[in-house]
A and B are shown apart, each in its own frame.
Chain A
Amino acid sequence: MSPNAEELLPMSPRDYLILLGLSAGPSHGYGLIGEIESLSEGATSMDPANLYRAIKRLKRDGLVEDLGRRGVEATGGTDVDTRRRYYGLTEAGRGAVAAESLRLERLTRVARERLLVPSAEGTR
């Protein structure tokens, strides 16, 4: 299935975090849980069952692909753990995460204009 990225928007925050977590490179479940925790600054912690539930759905939607146990070797990754199965973003997944990021950015811009949040420059 090659879905139109726009159709999948808006994304649930968890899906977004999963896809964003995978955008740095393929990862296994345990790595992904850690990544999600650090991306959300500890606000979101996923349990394995719900993580794989989401992965199963994202796979079905064609956003995530299963790279198998040695998947990362192909991508030139180091520190490969052959015991675990790796997942990576598909092109569609990359597109979807980009589209969602843009959508969020637009929303953030509106919020900023309404002075709800300080501007990016202000925080520097």
Chain B
Amino acid sequence: MTSRESRNLSVRLYQWLVSFLPDDFDADLRRDTIETFVDIRRAARRRGRFASLRVTVGSLWHGAGAVLAERREANHALRATSSISAEVCTVEHHPRRNTTPGDLMDSLRHDLQTALRAFRHRPGFALASVVIMALGIAAATTLFSVVDDVLLQPLPYPDSERIVYFDEGSHPIPLFEIWHDDMASVEDLAAAFTRYQVLTGEQEPARIQTARLRGDFFELFGAKPAKGRLLQAQDFDERARVAVISHRLWRTRWGSDEGLLGQTISVDGEDFTVVGVMAPDFQMPEAVDEEIEIWMPLDPGPEMAHSWNYYVLEVVGRLAEGVTLSAAQDEVRAIDLRVAEEHPEERNDREGNPQLTPLVGLHEATVFGSTERLWVLLGAGFAVLLVGCANVAGLSLARGQERLRDLAVREALGAGKLRLARQLLIESVLLSLAGGAAGIALAQAGVKGFLALQPGDLPRLHEVSLDPRVLTLALLATVACGLLCGTAPALQAARSDLERVLRSDTSGTAGRDRRSGRPLFVIFEVALSLMLLTGAGLLAHSLLLQYRQPAGIDTERLVRIPLQLPENTIGGAEEDLAGRIAQRTNRLIESLEALPEVDSAAVTWAAPFTYFGRGRCCWRTVFAAEPDTDDKPRSMVHPVTAGFLGTLGADLLVGRDLDERDGELEPPPLIVNRHMAGELLSEFGLPGSAEDAQALASLLGRQVLRGSDEEAMQIVGVVDHIYEWGPTEETEPVSYVSYERFGGEIGLASVVVRIRTNLQANLVERLRQAIWQVDPRIPVPVVESMDERRRDAFAEPRFYSVILALFAGVSLLLAAAGLYATLHYTVTRRRCEMGIRMALGARHREVVRLVLRQGFGWLVAGLALGWVFTAISARVLQSQLFGVGVTDPWTVGTVSLVLLLSGLAACWIPARSAARVDPVKTLRAD
């Protein structure tokens, strides 16, 4: 059996089944049985899915029969008797005798048979219960499976709970060196500089993610090579030009060629010798970057190695034995404070506060941001399960009332009340188990659907599956639900005066409803549904507000092409690389703008709605009004080519866009966003706020001093905020400078193109050709419409809203159905009373009102309880909401109204039927 097969659900089920065989079925036989099952299943798989399913189901079914038969034989052998219990009647023969375990088995079997007969008698009830339970179990199991694997299971690394992550994005290399040399509480400090690079060679150029490593990165994460070796200490010390490639890259690009080891590959024009292939199952920690294809030793240029302004390294380490996270955090803090004192310019922020690095567990860093969202969804899943339980419990109670007469007969024949209660519990658990089995099957589809539909930003998704832990929990939940649903009817049966039932002519007694607890279930269902509906409503409302939020740019007919200019293939000597990149960029723009469909094109490092991980795109620096001031506003800086803001359709508040002259203009021009303008206003001591156009205009023409060199720049424009990450981000200071001057030696580029037509396939191809005309070695992986990109930014909140709405919808349906069933049942039982009322002259309307009033009462009670639930639970939603409070009266009011109306509609049908009672017929029938 392969390990994949051993993880397979049906194999697990079969193993579980085989484990019930009695002890004289020895380990060898059991193993053989399972192996043979795997064999025939594998053979059937080759014939197709259906054959495989047939064999699986058949084997499980016959296997269950075999298990029962074996157990029975073993039991008989144990008792050394061969008595055959002749059971001809459904009623127990020796109900009150002291029972032996064998009798217990027999009587249990008997209860099972009775239960099955009862289900056959009323298939509608059984089917409804199974379907409802299946929905609830599936909802809860699916989400628990996700939550368990994402949030609860440890990461797949040795001692993973001791691995820590240095948060706040990337860190400069000198800082890492200080941590590395000085820290005692964190061992195995390692770092990775990850980015996109271009792999060239015989095949077409590929844009891939690489990691330049420092420290024992691989040891920390327990990585093993599949071929050759991994990087060693010597490689790091000597900055050797060696590389380890991912198994996937090895397979897809080199067809798993064994001869690749020792060969040279070219990354951004630099040659590296391949020394190893990573094991296929190695997972890069997602907090660092997961899709790495090539690992190489870190080899920064002298500038980057000593600069405090290149935030490039992701840093991880392992807590030393016995050191707590907070102790390690204290040490990091102490070092950071010391460094800030030594390098005040670089390590202090505008207010003079030192930059401190939070230390978090790797697990926390990995799941960051998903935790609350997933718990909310899991809570909603369990709420659906509870609504389902309440629903089935309500159904069972109604059914229990109907069966009182049947139970009374059995009691008269000698069955004890406990025995009858047990019978009801068994029925309930059986139904629940059937529902659970269907629910687990549904959950398997649910997990697959969740993985397929989720927008891709949840961490650790490749680890999510229906594992034994989850199945165990699903099974426990199933049995618990069965007991929960069965308790009420069992208590009812135990409490009832069954003799009276038998003596009375009517099938029960009027007025029992109040004690039966049925309305309580309905009230509970309504309350939970209100809670779910409110949650879904709030998320939907928040989503709507996000859609309406302006992005700061015009995304219609705007195209983005992420590019990577192969750094060292630009040709020529090392010096003036920046100049050549700028030249190449200009030629790109010219080539694109030569297309008749293109209105304008511009280049930047990272266009809006481009998720570039933790700020790796960014360059931050300070701007001062006067030399030698301490209080300098700090801003993100985007080098952009001429006409960038115009191409984006950004809202230029005052001044002008950057243009072609700016490459030579002295001092270099600067455009700031509204937020930065606000900071500069106070920096210059100017009156007015950033909302005031006149105040903004007063900034134009002023000079600011950039960075520690205090290079003068002139403000030429103020632009409104452009959303870089998504619609819900908070604004921050941003400045735009000339790409030609400040693009630097970074070949990272995002081309934005404003087109005149829609983005059709042939235009995509022409855009690609235009780029390749400049340099055929530039990889052009995607040409994407910014409209889509913007929609993607909503994909995640939309996905969660849809799931919650789905749950809320199911629970609303269940609550309405529960209300209908309960009221219908009451009406049926009060048929006689209605008949009398109508015989005494009551009008139809009055009867309808009478019934509706009862349903309305339950609904209002449910809503009241629901508001309490909502008030308690809504707080967890707070962080998921944008622009709407958790107690938003519009949302709460609307969903309450929806629930009330659906509830009344559900009550209307039984009320109408009550009013149609023909008094003569009814009274005669009784």
Residues of A whose CB lies within 8 Å of any CB of B are 28-30, 33, 47-53, 55-56, 66, 83-85
Contacts and interface: CB of A to CB of B under 8 A. Distances in A.
B67 interface: yes
A56 B29 contact: yes
Given A47-B63, A49-B67, 6 more contacts: A30-B43, A47-B62, A49-B17, A51-B36, A53-B66, A53-B70
Given A30-B40, A33-B36, A48-B36, A85 B28 contact: yes
A83 B29 CA distance: 14
B59 A84 contact: no
B25 interface: yes
Contact of A47 (B29, B31, B39, B58): B58
Contacts of B32: 28-29, 48, 52, 84-85
A52 B31 CA distance: 10
B63 A48 contact: yes
Nearest to B17: A49
11 contacts: A29-B35, A29-B36, A30-B35, A30-B43, A33-B36, A47-B66, A48-B32, A51-B33, A53-B25, A56-B25, A56-B29
Interface in B53-97: 58-59, 62-63, 65-67, 69-70
A48 B70 contact: no
B378 interface: no
A26 to B, nearest CB: 13
B40 A49 contact: no
Contacts of A50: 62-63, 65-66
Contact of A49 (B28, B39, B43, B62): B62
A33 B40 CA distance: 9
Contacts of A56: 24-25, 29
- 7 nearest A-B residue pairs (beta carbon): A29-B36, A49-B63, A30-B39, A49-B66, A47-B62, A48-B36, A47-B59
Given A30-B36, A30-B40, A48-B36, A55 B66 contact: no
Given A47-B58, A56-B25, A83 B35 contact: yes
A50 B21 CA distance: 11
A52 B40 CA distance: 14
Given A29-B35, A33-B36, A52 B29 contact: yes
Contacts, number: 64
Contacts of A55: 29
A49 B33 contact: yes
A23 B36 CA distance: 20
A48 B28 contact: no
A15 B59 CA distance: 18
Contacts of A83: 35
Nearest to B65: A50
A66 B28 CA distance: 10
Contacts of A85: 28, 31-32
B18 interface: yes
B37 interface: yes
Contact of B18 (A29, A33, A49): A49
Q: Is the interface of A mostly helix, strand, loop or mixed?
A: helix
Contacts of A29: 32-33, 35-36, 39
A58 B661 CA distance: 97
A53 to B, nearest CB: 5
A55 B36 CA distance: 13
B69 A53 contact: yes
Contacts of A53: 25, 66, 69-70
A124 to B, nearest CB: 35
B35 A84 contact: yes
Contacts of B70: 53
Nearest to B43: A30
Nearest to A83: B35
A114 to B, nearest CB: 36
Contacts of A51: 33, 36
A30 B55 CA distance: 13
Interface in B169-209: none
A83 B63 CA distance: 22
Nearest to A66: B28
Nearest to A84: B35
Contacts of B29: 52, 55-56
Given A47-B63, A66-B28, A52 B35 contact: no
B398 to A, nearest CB: 40
Nearest to A46: B62
Most chain A CB within a 10 A radius of its CB, from B25, B33, B69: B33
A28 B62 contact: no
Interface in B443-498: none
Interface in B34-50: 34-37, 39-40, 43
A48 B40 CA distance: 9
A47 B62 CA distance: 7
Contacts of A66: 28
A48 B32 CA distance: 8
A115 B35 CA distance: 46
Contacts of B65: 50
Contacts of A52: 25, 29, 32-33, 36
B724 to A, nearest CB: 57
A48 B69 contact: no
A3 to B, nearest CB: 18
A82 to B, nearest CB: 12
Interface in B608-626: none
A51 B58 CA distance: 13
Contacts of B66: 47, 49-50, 53
A67 B40 CA distance: 21
Interface string B1-33: 000000000000000011001001100110111
A84 B65 CA distance: 24
A33 B35 CA distance: 13
Contacts of A84: 32, 35
A55 to B, nearest CB: 7
A1 to B, nearest CB: 15
Nearest to A32: B36
Nearest to B29: A52
A49 B264 CA distance: 56
B63 to A, nearest CB: 4
B124 to A, nearest CB: 33
A85 B32 CA distance: 7
B16 to A, nearest CB: 12
Contact of A28 (B24, B25, B36, B58): B36
B248 to A, nearest CB: 30
A55 B28 CA distance: 12
A21 B256 CA distance: 44
Nearest to A55: B29
B59 to A, nearest CB: 4
B32 to A, nearest CB: 5
A6 B69 CA distance: 26
Contacts of A48: 32-34, 36-37, 40, 59, 63
Contacts of A49: 17-18, 21, 33, 37, 59, 62-63, 66-67
A14 to B, nearest CB: 12
A30 B44 CA distance: 12
B50 to A, nearest CB: 16
Contacts of A33: 36, 40
A53 B62 CA distance: 11
A70 B841 CA distance: 91
A50 B28 CA distance: 15
A34 B33 CA distance: 15
Nearest to A33: B40
A52 B63 CA distance: 10
A48 to B, nearest CB: 4
Contacts of B63: 47-50
A12 to B, nearest CB: 13
B793 to A, nearest CB: 52
Contacts of B39: 29-30
A34 to B, nearest CB: 8
Contacts of B17: 49
Most chain B CB within a 10 A radius of its CB, from A33, A49, A52, A53: A49
A32 B204 CA distance: 54
